[in-house]
Amino acid sequence: MGDAAVDREDGGIGYGDDGSCLIGLNGLADLLGISARRVQQYAEDGVIVKAGHGQYVLRESVRRYCESLRESASGRNAPADERAEKTRLLKFQADMMELKLAEASGQFLRRDEVEMVIAEGIASARAEFMASARELKKLLDKKHGIDIELSDIIGIHHSTLVRLAEHSPELAGDDPRGLVEMAAAGESEHG
Protein backbone atom coordinates (compact mmCIF):
# COMPACT_ATOMS: atom_id res chain seq x y z
CA MET A 1 0.00 0.00 0.00
CA GLY A 2 2.33 2.77 -1.18
CA ASP A 3 5.97 3.47 -0.67
CA ALA A 4 5.61 4.54 2.96
CA ALA A 5 3.84 2.24 5.41
CA VAL A 6 1.53 3.94 7.87
CA ASP A 7 1.76 2.69 11.43
CA ARG A 8 -1.77 2.14 12.74
CA GLU A 9 -0.76 2.61 16.36
CA ASP A 10 1.17 5.88 16.26
CA GLY A 11 -0.94 7.50 13.55
CA GLY A 12 1.99 8.10 11.21
CA ILE A 13 1.63 9.66 7.79
CA GLY A 14 2.64 7.96 4.54
CA TYR A 15 1.68 7.94 0.89
CA GLY A 16 -0.42 5.55 -1.14
CA ASP A 17 0.46 4.15 -4.56
CA ASP A 18 -1.60 6.93 -6.13
CA GLY A 19 0.32 9.60 -4.21
CA SER A 20 -2.49 10.29 -1.76
CA CYS A 21 -1.48 11.14 1.78
CA LEU A 22 -2.40 8.34 4.19
CA ILE A 23 -2.69 8.58 7.95
CA GLY A 24 -3.06 5.99 10.69
CA LEU A 25 -6.17 5.60 12.84
CA ASN A 26 -4.81 7.35 15.93
CA GLY A 27 -3.29 10.18 13.91
CA LEU A 28 -6.60 10.87 12.16
CA ALA A 29 -8.50 10.68 15.44
CA ASP A 30 -6.08 13.16 16.97
CA LEU A 31 -6.27 15.49 13.96
CA LEU A 32 -10.08 15.49 14.00
CA GLY A 33 -10.33 15.68 17.80
CA ILE A 34 -12.46 12.55 18.06
CA SER A 35 -11.91 9.03 19.37
CA ALA A 36 -10.38 6.25 17.27
CA ARG A 37 -13.66 4.36 17.61
CA ARG A 38 -15.55 7.35 16.21
CA VAL A 39 -13.18 7.43 13.22
CA GLN A 40 -14.02 3.77 12.58
CA GLN A 41 -17.76 4.54 12.82
CA TYR A 42 -17.41 7.41 10.35
CA ALA A 43 -15.52 5.04 8.04
CA GLU A 44 -18.35 2.48 8.32
CA ASP A 45 -20.82 5.26 7.45
CA GLY A 46 -18.74 6.23 4.41
CA VAL A 47 -17.80 9.67 5.74
CA ILE A 48 -14.14 8.85 6.29
CA VAL A 49 -12.26 7.15 3.44
CA LYS A 50 -10.47 3.97 4.45
CA ALA A 51 -7.42 3.02 2.37
CA GLY A 52 -6.57 -0.25 4.09
CA HIS A 53 -6.31 -1.84 7.50
CA GLY A 54 -5.83 1.06 9.92
CA GLN A 55 -5.07 3.49 7.09
CA TYR A 56 -7.17 6.42 5.93
CA VAL A 57 -6.93 8.85 3.00
CA LEU A 58 -6.13 12.08 4.82
CA ARG A 59 -7.33 14.87 2.53
CA GLU A 60 -10.59 13.25 1.40
CA SER A 61 -11.42 12.05 4.93
CA VAL A 62 -10.99 15.52 6.43
CA ARG A 63 -12.92 17.10 3.56
CA ARG A 64 -15.82 14.67 4.01
CA TYR A 65 -15.72 14.99 7.80
CA CYS A 66 -15.94 18.79 7.52
CA GLU A 67 -18.76 18.47 5.00
CA SER A 68 -20.54 16.12 7.39
CA LEU A 69 -20.19 18.65 10.23
CA ARG A 70 -21.60 21.41 8.02
CA GLU A 71 -24.55 19.26 6.93
CA SER A 72 -25.22 18.24 10.50
CA ALA A 73 -25.20 21.88 11.60
CA SER A 74 -27.64 23.05 8.97
CA GLY A 75 -30.09 20.13 9.20
CA ARG A 76 -31.25 20.35 12.83
CA ASN A 77 -34.80 21.31 13.82
CA ALA A 78 -33.74 23.47 16.74
CA PRO A 79 -34.85 27.07 17.34
CA ALA A 80 -33.20 29.58 14.98
CA ASP A 81 -30.80 30.94 17.63
CA GLU A 82 -29.58 27.48 18.57
CA ARG A 83 -29.25 26.47 14.92
CA ALA A 84 -27.26 29.60 14.12
CA GLU A 85 -24.98 29.07 17.11
CA LYS A 86 -24.49 25.39 16.30
CA THR A 87 -23.81 26.27 12.65
CA ARG A 88 -21.15 28.80 13.67
CA LEU A 89 -19.52 26.30 16.02
CA LEU A 90 -19.51 23.48 13.49
CA LYS A 91 -18.24 25.77 10.73
CA PHE A 92 -15.45 26.89 13.05
CA GLN A 93 -14.59 23.25 13.83
CA ALA A 94 -14.63 22.36 10.14
CA ASP A 95 -12.42 25.35 9.28
CA MET A 96 -9.98 24.35 12.04
CA MET A 97 -9.83 20.81 10.66
CA GLU A 98 -9.05 22.16 7.21
CA LEU A 99 -6.27 24.34 8.65
CA LYS A 100 -4.82 21.36 10.52
CA LEU A 101 -4.95 19.33 7.31
CA ALA A 102 -3.21 22.07 5.36
CA GLU A 103 -0.49 22.25 8.00
CA ALA A 104 -0.13 18.45 8.23
CA SER A 105 0.14 18.10 4.46
CA GLY A 106 2.72 20.89 4.21
CA GLN A 107 0.55 23.39 2.34
CA PHE A 108 1.63 26.17 4.64
CA LEU A 109 4.28 26.75 7.25
CA ARG A 110 3.92 28.17 10.70
CA ARG A 111 5.30 31.67 11.14
CA ASP A 112 7.64 30.71 13.98
CA GLU A 113 9.12 27.91 11.85
CA VAL A 114 9.72 30.27 8.93
CA GLU A 115 11.27 32.89 11.22
CA MET A 116 13.55 30.25 12.72
CA VAL A 117 14.75 29.09 9.29
CA ILE A 118 15.37 32.69 8.20
CA ALA A 119 17.26 33.47 11.41
CA GLU A 120 19.38 30.33 10.96
CA GLY A 121 20.12 31.34 7.36
CA ILE A 122 21.14 34.83 8.42
CA ALA A 123 23.32 33.46 11.22
CA SER A 124 24.96 31.06 8.79
CA ALA A 125 25.56 33.81 6.21
CA ARG A 126 26.99 36.06 8.91
CA ALA A 127 29.32 33.30 10.15
CA GLU A 128 30.48 32.60 6.59
CA PHE A 129 31.06 36.30 5.97
CA MET A 130 33.05 36.70 9.17
CA ALA A 131 35.14 33.62 8.34
CA SER A 132 35.82 34.91 4.83
CA ALA A 133 36.75 38.36 6.19
CA ARG A 134 39.24 36.74 8.59
CA GLU A 135 40.67 34.63 5.77
CA LEU A 136 40.98 37.69 3.53
CA LYS A 137 42.82 39.52 6.30
CA LYS A 138 45.27 36.58 6.66
CA LEU A 139 45.72 36.31 2.89
CA LEU A 140 46.44 40.04 2.46
CA ASP A 141 49.00 39.92 5.26
CA LYS A 142 50.68 36.68 4.11
CA LYS A 143 50.81 37.25 0.34
CA HIS A 144 51.06 41.02 0.13
CA GLY A 145 52.34 42.08 3.54
CA ILE A 146 49.25 44.24 4.07
CA ASP A 147 48.20 44.40 7.70
CA ILE A 148 44.56 45.51 7.55
CA GLU A 149 42.12 45.67 10.43
CA LEU A 150 39.18 43.27 10.34
CA SER A 151 36.90 46.26 10.90
CA ASP A 152 38.22 47.77 7.63
CA ILE A 153 37.18 44.69 5.69
CA ILE A 154 33.82 44.61 7.44
CA GLY A 155 33.34 48.35 6.78
CA ILE A 156 33.53 47.76 3.05
CA HIS A 157 30.40 45.59 3.37
CA HIS A 158 28.61 47.96 5.74
CA SER A 159 25.26 48.15 3.92
CA THR A 160 25.03 44.37 3.56
CA LEU A 161 25.71 43.89 7.24
CA VAL A 162 23.12 46.49 8.18
CA ARG A 163 20.52 44.74 6.03
CA LEU A 164 21.34 41.40 7.65
CA ALA A 165 21.09 42.93 11.11
CA GLU A 166 17.74 44.56 10.30
CA HIS A 167 16.30 41.19 9.31
CA SER A 168 17.24 39.55 12.58
CA PRO A 169 17.70 41.83 15.60
CA GLU A 170 18.23 38.76 17.80
CA LEU A 171 21.50 38.02 16.02
CA ALA A 172 23.05 41.38 16.90
CA GLY A 173 22.00 40.86 20.52
CA ASP A 174 23.65 37.44 20.73
CA ASP A 175 27.09 38.74 19.81
CA PRO A 176 28.82 41.42 21.90
CA ARG A 177 30.27 42.72 18.63
CA GLY A 178 26.94 42.47 16.78
CA LEU A 179 26.38 43.24 13.13
CA VAL A 180 25.13 46.77 13.68
CA GLU A 181 28.06 47.62 15.95
CA MET A 182 30.55 46.15 13.47
CA ALA A 183 28.93 47.97 10.58
CA ALA A 184 28.90 51.24 12.52
CA ALA A 185 32.57 50.79 13.43
CA GLY A 186 33.38 50.19 9.78
CA GLU A 187 31.37 53.23 8.73
CA SER A 188 33.07 55.55 11.20
CA GLU A 189 36.49 54.40 10.05
CA HIS A 190 35.61 54.60 6.34
CA GLY A 191 33.14 57.27 6.01
**Under a CB-based contact definition with an 8 Å cutoff, are residues 140 and 134 in contact?**
no
Q: What is the pLDDT along the chain (191 residues), one digit of tens a residue?
A: 444 454 544 567 888 888 888 999 999 999 999 999 999 999 999 999 999 888 999 999 999 998 888 877 766 545 566 767 888 889 999 999 888 888 788 777 778 888 888 888 888 888 888 888 899 999 999 999 999 888 888 877 777 767 766 765 454 444 444 545 554 554 454 44
Among the listed residues 111, 115, 74, the one whose alpha carbon sits nearest the alpha carbon of residue 91: 74
Count CA within 13 A, CB hemisphere, residue 39.
26
pLDDT at residue 167 in the model: 61
pLDDT at residue 11, as a whole number: 60
Helix, strand, coil tally for the chain in percent (to 5): 65, 5, 25
CB burial of residue 46 (10 Å; 0-12, 13-18, 19+): exposed
- H/E stretch holding 52 reads strand 50-52
Looking from the CA of 151 toward its CB, the CA atoms found within 13 Å total 14
Contacts of 180 (CB under 8 A, 6+ apart): 161, 162, 165, 172
pLDDT of res. 69: 84
Burial (0-12, 13-18, 19+ Cβ within 10 Å), 80: exposed
Give the distance from CA 81 to its chain's centroid: 38
For residue 5, the model assigns a pLDDT of 52
What pLDDT shows up at residue 57? 92
Domain spans of the chain? 13-104, 111-190
Work out the number of other CB atoms within 10 angstroms of the CB of residue 88. 11
